[in-house]
Chain A
Amino acid sequence: MREDYKMDTREKDIEKLKDYKYGFTTDIENIKAPKGLNEDVIKFISNIKKEPQWMLDFRLKAYERLKLLREPNWQKPKYPKIDYQDLYYYSAPKSMKDKPKSLDELDPKLLETYKKLGIPLQEQARLNGIAVDAVFDSVSVATTFKGELTKHGIIFCSMSEAIQKHPELVKKYLGTVIPVTDHFFATLNSAVFTDGSFVYIPEGVKCPMELSTYFRINASETGQFERTLIIADKGSYVSYLEGCTAPMRDENQLHAANVELIALDNAEIKYSTVQNWYPGDENGKGGIYNFVTKRGLCKGKNSKISWTQVETGSAITWKYPSCILKGDNSIGEFYSIAITNNHQKADTGTKMIHLGKNTKSKIISKGISAGFSDMTYRGLVDINSKAKNSNNYTQCDSLLMGNKCGAHTVPYIRNKNFDSNIAHEATTSKISEEQLHYCQQRGLNPEEAVGLIVNGFCKEVLQQLPMEFAVEAQKLVGISLEGSVG
């Protein structure tokens, strides 16, 4: 934390943030696809985005498959049945119909929205050196820092743009990590996905800045289905950040995104998420259903994929960022903090699938539950018989605050290789009276004391986040637990 960050400003900050500060809506005219899910809607989406035939075929193939699939129901947090025919699958600000060429042409209302969210797109372009792709409901509204990135040959644009301009790359990689025949929500996304980010880092390039996407759900009764594809070619490196918010509404909104990462030989992808979708009110009304499929493929030798996530929002979070370690010597990492308060529910974790030789994976998961919430870590470590000399280390710790909440750990461990080692550890505990007493004795009030201890508990994961995010995440950790002490 900055040195000049005085106590009173901090308090003011907290006061300001006490309620979900991203809960406003932007009054903007929208173009929507007709309600419901059918072939015509898919054709409408494809048409409005002027997609080529192969893309429409991809969507329709997924839709055919979707008809055969049923919603999974093995998860811990149960939710009322979603009526998929009562949702809008496409919603875009009207002004985006003909995409503005530069930021200056962008609808001022949109700029204002992102400014409120703390992402001033215009200033950002000059100031803090992070390239941002902003996604508003179904479409990407702006991508900053294009010039700088193009110099290095890096492609960072919206998915729709990539389909138009780089069809050969999209065609080659889209659906290779999450096939159209995957589970229900992933297939639903394949059929109706609207936008998202596309990143390609060419051979040998180390991306000079953090790339970031900011997702915003604005319209009501819509689902957000974005699709992100990141390809790191041989010997390249990229760090990618993702942030999300949504307005406060009484209804539950669905967010079913797909994220695919592909790392070729010697490449490294670092993917960080701070997820702060609207969690619903104190009584558990409203909030986002965050059912996301994230999967990375370490395709090449010596490649590395690292997931870091801070999950504080959403009514229900249900996601497992995974790594398929296919290339020899590849590395997968997963660092996670999941905080649930009030009536929030989270079922999250990871899958590490070891296929190549000498592959390594590490899982650090910290779960904190308070109020009436439920938090589940669910993970799989699978070492294939061909994955000689592989290693996994897993640690998942849970912290409970109060006896109305739950913390669960469900790890699946499969070891089919006698050369490989798997170690797993998990603990569940509460903040000890001694620790609290010690902090209070030194002048902290109970809430600050809890904040301090929780931040210490999460430190291993917070350290993995890029600087700009780490500060925000640390604050978020404190705020998410407001009112859970005593």
Chain B
Amino acid sequence: MSEQLQSDFDKIIKTSTFSNEEIQSKKFFLKKFIENGFPNRKQEDWKFLDISQIIKKNISDLNFFNDYSLPNKIDTSIFVDGLEHNKIIFINGRIEKIDFNYEDQNKIEIKDEIERSILFDYENSLIDLNSAFINKVFKIFVKKNYSLKKPLIIYHSTNDKMKSTNINLRLDFELGENSCLRLIDFFTDNTNKNFINIFYNFNLLKDSILKNYKIDKFINDNLKYSFNNIEQGNNSVSETFILSAGSDYSKNEINCNLNGEHSSAFINGVFSLKENQQHEIRTTVNHLVENTKSYQLVKSVLGKNSKSAYQGKIFVNSKAQKTDGYQLSKAILLDETSEFNAKPELEIYADDVKCSHGSASGSLNEDSIFYLMSRGLSYQQSKKLLINGFLLDVVEKITDSEIKNLIKNIIGLKE
């Protein structure tokens, strides 16, 4: 694989216009990635779903070359109706359009240069891969005291030109003091067997609010990896919602550092998996100072041959007294062949804390089905009603009513 990596890398350097400095740092990350390769089950974080095996099985020869010089046509039919929004359109690894038409242009600043801070000291080879092959990194600043009027939707799409290719995206966001951003990731991939590697970095200053909703609903054959790093200042709030249902393989990682007092993080997730899908959510919430709070709720409904994994970690520093951490994962297994894995982890070094986690998994309650059937519903209807109720619980946690309704419509959940 390393020869292909090298030759694809050289091709990209030839066809694109990177500065010398950029090329040097890309070379560094390429070298690191070639050394480590794709993560496998020997690494603790990848124990449940081994990406290197999955890539081998689903995409035998992964292609790393992506011609960034050719623009792609924007297919407007993918746009979400009934909700006015700002757009970032990301097609085949190129950001084609950034559109903040609804906003005050002075309050938002977009830079397209790679910052030196790209050198993350994460031991994560997929981020190295991302850094080596990424086209352009945009950094979006939301200025002090500004709340975006409309949500921002990032459309992730690929068209027929792409096959068995590695696609990378990286965006940096900085939310100034007392600002607010609502961000929706909307996946509308229709081609197949690409490996999509997304890395977001958020910096939340004092009193800012970030709401990030990831919607992967439409069935596709892609493999997806997404990493969110969230740094939180005093009194900031982050809310992340993940709907994990569409891709063949998907892993969402959230790393949240609560650096400021009274900051809080909410992470909620829904897995709704069908045949042969394998999805994972891995969260790390680091409580680093006093009086911080985190809440996590993840629910899975697992169909035939599907597999979901939830690895959630709450870390409490010895300084972080008065921490409140909570974590709950629940799963319904619908078929003999479905599988649920969980590793809810607590690592605590402070004594005045309130931390708990819970996990429960099993089949649908036959008594409840019987109850509904005795009231005239069919078996299928009762089952559906119970599953919807089970998942609705998580969707109801969404604090933005506009977006909550949008997501309910997309999933087909009605009250």
Q: Does B350 contact A424, Cβ atoms closer than 8 Å?
A: no
Q: Does B358 contact A416, Cβ atoms closer than 8 Å?
A: no
**What 1/0 flags go to B348-362 for Cβ under 8 Å of A?**
111111111111111
Q: Does B347 contact A429, Cβ atoms closer than 8 Å?
A: no
Least Cβ–Cβ distance between A134 and chain B, in angstroms: 40
B276 at the interface (CB under 8 A from A): no
* List of A residues within 8 angstroms of B321 by Cβ: 403
Interface members, chain A 404-442 (any B CB < 8 Å): 404-430
Least Cβ–Cβ distance between B363 and chain A, in angstroms: 5
**What 1/0 flags go to A389-408 for Cβ under 8 Å of B?**
00000000010111111111
Q: How many A residues touch B, CB cutoff 8 Å? A: 34
Interface members, chain B 334-382 (any A CB < 8 Å): 334-363
Q: Does A409 contact B318, Cβ atoms closer than 8 Å?
A: no
Q: Does B348 contact A428, Cβ atoms closer than 8 Å?
A: yes
Q: Does B345 contact A409, Cβ atoms closer than 8 Å?
A: yes
Whole-angstrom CA separation of A317 from B336 in the bound complex: 38
Residue from B336, B349, B357, B361 in contact with A409 in the complex, judged by beta carbons closer than 8 Å: B357
Whole-angstrom CA separation of A430 from B352 in the bound complex: 6
Nearest-neighbor residue (CB-CB) of B354 within chain A: A429
* List of B residues within 8 angstroms of A474 by Cβ: none
* List of A residues within 8 angstroms of B343 by Cβ: 410-413
Q: Does A419 contact B363, Cβ atoms closer than 8 Å?
A: yes
Nearest-neighbor residue (CB-CB) of A378 within chain B: B345
- Beyond A413-B342, A416-B339, A418-B336, whether A408 also contacts B348 by CB under 8 A is yes
A95 at the interface (CB under 8 A from B): no
- Beyond A417-B336, A424-B358, A428-B356, whether A405 also contacts B349 by CB under 8 A is yes
Q: Does B346 contact A413, Cβ atoms closer than 8 Å?
A: no
Q: Does A402 contact B362, Cβ atoms closer than 8 Å?
A: no
Residue from B349, B352, B362 in contact with A422 in the complex, judged by beta carbons closer than 8 Å: B362
* List of B residues within 8 angstroms of A402 by Cβ: 351
- Beyond A409-B345, A414-B341, whether A422 also contacts B360 by CB under 8 A is yes
* List of B residues within 8 angstroms of A414 by Cβ: 339-341
Whole-angstrom CA separation of A122 from B338 in the bound complex: 59
Least Cβ–Cβ distance between A193 and chain B, in angstroms: 30
Whole-angstrom CA separation of A412 from B348 in the bound complex: 18
B333 at the interface (CB under 8 A from A): yes
Q: Does A426 contact B362, Cβ atoms closer than 8 Å?
A: no
Q: Does A424 contact B344, Cβ atoms closer than 8 Å?
A: yes
B181 at the interface (CB under 8 A from A): no
Q: Does A424 contact B348, Cβ atoms closer than 8 Å?
A: no
Q: Does B358 contact A418, Cβ atoms closer than 8 Å?
A: no
* List of A residues within 8 angstroms of B361 by Cβ: 413, 415, 421-422
**What 1/0 flags go to A171-194 for Cβ under 8 Å of B?**
000000000000000000000000
Q: Does B359 contact A411, Cβ atoms closer than 8 Å?
A: yes
Q: List 13 A-B contacts (CB under 8 A).
A: A400-B350, A403-B349, A406-B348, A407-B348, A411-B343, A411-B344, A412-B343, A413-B359, A415-B340, A424-B360, A425-B356, A427-B355, A430-B351
